[in-house]
Amino acid sequence: MTTPTRTTVLLCDLVPYRHSTRTRKIAATVAPGRPGEVRAVTLARVGRLGMSDTPGHSCIDGVDVENLPVREIDDRRNLAASVRNLLLRYLPAIWQLRRRVLATPARTIFVGQIALFWLGIAHRRRWGSEVIISSREMPGGVRTKGSLATWFSRVEPWMLRRAARRHNFTVVAVCDSHADRFRELGVKDVLVVRNVPLASFAPRYTSPPSGPDLRLACVGSLYPGRGIEVLIDAVVAARAAGAPVRLTITGPAGKEYRQSLRDRIDAAEAGDYIALEEACATGEVPTCYQRSHIGTALYEAVDAANDSLSNKIFEGVVAGRPVIAGNLAENRALVKRHRLGWTIPVEVAPIRDLLIRLAADIPAVQAHAEHCHEVGRTEFVWEIETLPLQKRLIGA
């Protein structure tokens, strides 16, 4: 068991370590060659998407990981369920998280969830550590119905502005527009680190599937706002127009939401060409994309938190597949600059028309795949993207 006094980098997060993409990638990047110096403390269960892991200690990629137990989450989207989750599930677990974190001296603390910024500041007060806080969304942007994150998001700008006046800390944003917003709130030190994959994520190039059908992949956590309903309806409409299109949806989801997607597919009698699969292992994500011709990142503009660069764009491209992405500003700039695919309004008619057009010329779609794979290997590499952040974390 690692002794606390040897910890150089301490990471904490609400999301279980295996499911916390950015926290896990940061830890895996700085841990090699530093046995016992990188430690992570996270909750073992969070949210309504089924993100959970076994409570207790483990060693993952050279990182000493502790997942703290959390009682079963009520995944119903109503006020009573949210209050019960907060009072009976999360607050006791967060109190334990606080105790573990504050009992561990470290030179640097990396806070993987903006809602825990106060814990990073408390650690600095006790141990004089450098505080680095990761933000996944636009400040104050979360507006998901029935989500506790939405409650915090409403007061987040005010809290961050007040904290920035009193304390020094670094915020890591996922795109330039988010970084600008943090600076407007008074945060003086902001880094931009796009959520690109680890180098080890990139598979060997494989040609897109043969056959007459245009195959689409939607991979990752499934929740309202990801445009999944729109994509299902667009595929159904394209099939009705005679286009040979198939869709595979893969990822974790709350029970009610998964059932709503299943009901939508069944109501359209689309089960023969739309598959709804359970979550796959992290190492299988590239294969999910490579079974298709095109990946998707259709985040809707109904939630300001959905305006960032999604790692779904990067995942698809690194796997060697072009993407269809929502026409949000950050997406448009990236996709156009590197010729990664298509951006489009997240509406049924435009997506239907695009699918019909692409299905009529599948060889052209196939030809685009190798270009995307090469761009992914040269432009979207986590170990290079995070060099400035690594220097902050380990003084390399």
pLDDT at 372 over 90: yes
What digits encode the pLDDT tens for the residues 133-154?
998 877 766 656 656 666 676 7
What digits encode the pLDDT tens for the residues 221-268?
888 888 999 999 999 999 999 999 999 999 988 888 899 999 999 999
The confidence band for 155, taking pLDDT boundaries of 50, 70 and 90, is confident
Q: What is the pTM of this model?
A: 0.82
3-class SS at 382? Answer: helix
- What is the pairing mode between strands 130-134 and 38-43? unpaired
**Average pLDDT along the chain:** 87
Distance (Å, whole) CA 144 – CA 219: 20
Burial 160-184 (b: 16+ CB within 10 A, else e): beebbeeeebbbbbbbebbbebbee
Closest CA relative to residue 202, chosen from 286, 113, 264: 286
